[in-house]
Each structure stands twice: as C-alpha cells, then as structure tokens.
Amino acid sequence: MTDTITVTFDRIGRMKNPPALQIPFADVAMPEADDFDALWPGDRTNWQVVVELIDDHVRPMIRSSYPEITLTGDLARIHGWIVVGMCGNGGTFTITHPDQENAR
C-alpha cells in the first residue's frame, strides 16, 4: 500500500506523456471525511488542495496564465481535464488514490 496520490497526465498542452505528479496523501488529508466535497463515502481528501497542486504542476507547460482544472469520478476511477482560454483542451489526466488500493 502506498500513501501517495499519483496524477498521470495523458497530455499537457502540446507535451505528450509529461511527468507524473506525486502528492503525499498526508499533505491533502483532512482529519475526517467531508461529505460535501467527497467523491465517495469516507473520502478524506481535500480536493481543492489537489487541484491547486495540479495547477502549479501544469502551469509552466501550457501557454495560459489561468488554466481551469476539473476533476470527477468515484472510487473506481478519478479523472480530469485542463481547459485553457475558455474552450481550449489543455490536456487530460487520471488520478490513482491510496483508497483505491485499500478497496481491492
């Protein structure tokens, strides 16, 4: 079992297969589950912090000062996309979460 959230990017801007982002779960874990922002029951992840870390990671690789990052999913699959310039496809990504390994 790993306590790391891994964000794997299919593409960022024109860069294919960019480096993955590793986020220690302890850096984004809340003391208890927050049903308002949870993607599944018992989810303790502060997803706003995850999105901010993804933003920090992708911003140097795209030509936009304000990328919009969206993520969605459930315990089976977490994925998201990056939009630049209101309609441009800035890339897609998949997230591997420690809870997914624990659920197996």
pLDDT one-digit tens code per residue, 23-32: 999 999 888 7
| Residue 25 near residue 98, CB atoms below 8 Å | yes
pLDDT of residue 15: 78
Contact 62, 45 (CB under 8 A): no
> CB–CB of 99/73 below 8 Å?
no
Q: Is 60 exceeded by the pLDDT of residue 104?
A: no
HSE value, Cβ hemisphere, 13 Å, CA-based, for 73 = 17
* Percent above pLDDT 90 for the chain: 38
The pLDDT of residue 89 is above 60: yes
Report the alpha-carbon angle 90-93-96, nearest 5. Answer: 160
pTM, entire model: 0.87
Query: Average pLDDT for residues 53-75, to the nearest whole number?
Result: 87
